Amino acid sequence: MSSLHKERVARSVPFTSAIFICAVVFLCVSQATASLITFDFTGSLGSQFPASPSFFPPFGQTISGFYTFESTTPGAPLGPGTVTYANTISAFGFTSGSYTGGFVGTPQPSPEQGPPFNNISIVNGSEDRYHVNVSLTGAGIAGLNPGLFEFVFTDPSGTAFSTTDLPLVPPNFASFTSHGLDMHFSDPTGGAGAFVSFAVTSLTLRPAAVSAPTPLLLLFSGIAGVVVLKRSFTWRRRTSGKS
């Protein structure tokens, strides 16, 4: 190997090392954040019980919201063609008129409903269903406590799904004949509860946010920079001493 070629190789090593270090750190950071997926939804008011409009004064004619879930949640079979992904939703929120609800982390249990709901279920059989249910959090209405928030997409033909895998993109909206969204309110005294229903009009995938550099990435990038500068300075001293 000629001396000129050795010098070129020596000069390339620091930069190659720096690029390798940054690439490894970037991949590690990306892998850590890539498993969370967010779906956004909208809907229009359908029916409510009691039917009196004055019973649900905070609600508007439309609803919008989101839920974030863990894409790597293992599924638990509940029967033929039915799999539930429990405790997969890590954030949830919605707004309708002046009423808002949601949670980040873990939904709180309610005295009437018991342990909190936080599931996505897939049914693939003679009838396909996409079912999301979470414990409803928000203000009480007319002495009733928020209970369950759920929406169910139903396909009576059984052709919407080919597997029971957790969908990482919104299910094909046109494949389902019904797109219901219900919010249930329970009576703490044991009396009749109430509900308000919406028809889901859209379910879309939220683009993944491009996060700012993490402290770990900045740290290793700085170390890589120091390595480059140190080796480059050493190489220059050696080459200047030879000339």
Backbone angles phi, psi at 160, to 5 degrees: -70, -35
pLDDT at 19: 44
Which amino acid is residue 186, in one-letter code? Answer: S
N-term to C-term CA, the chain: 20
Q: Taking each helix axis as running N to C, give the angle between helix 215-242 and helix 3-33, from 0 to 180 degrees, rounded to the nearest 10.
A: 180
Dihedral in degrees, nearest 10, Cα atoms 168, 169, 175, 179 = 90
pLDDT in tens, 113-139: 445 578 999 999 999 999 999 988 888
Mean of all residue pLDDT scores within the chain: 78
The beta strands (E) that lie in 71-193 are given as: 76-79, 82-86, 89-96, 99-104, 118-123, 128-135, 145-155, 178-186
pLDDT at 89: 94
**Average pLDDT, consecutive stretches of 10 residues, N- to C-terminus, the chain (243 residues):** 50 47 43 76 92 75 96 94 94 93 68 65 97 88 88 96 97 95 89 91 88 52 52 56 55
pLDDT at 214: 53
Collapsed DSSP state (helix, strand, coil) of residue 136: coil
pTM, to two decimals: 0.72
* Backbone CA torsion sign across 50, 54, 59, 62: positive
pLDDT at 33: 47
Burial (0-12, 13-18, 19+ Cβ within 10 Å), 51: exposed
CA-wise closest residue to 209 among 53, 15, 20, 36: 36
CA-wise closest residue to 17 among 238, 226, 212, 235: 226
| C-beta atoms surrounding 4 within 10 Å | 8
Q: Residue ranges per domain, the chain? A: 3-31+212-242, 35-205
Residue 79 to residues 75, 83, 124, Cα–Cα distance (Å): 12, 7, 11
pLDDT at 177: 96
pLDDT at 235: 46
How far apart, in whole angstroms, are the C-alpha atoms of residue 181 and residue 195?
10
How far apart, in whole angstroms, are the C-alpha atoms of residue 19 and residue 220?
11
The answer to whether 225 and 205 are in contact (CB under 8 A) is no
pLDDT at 212: 53
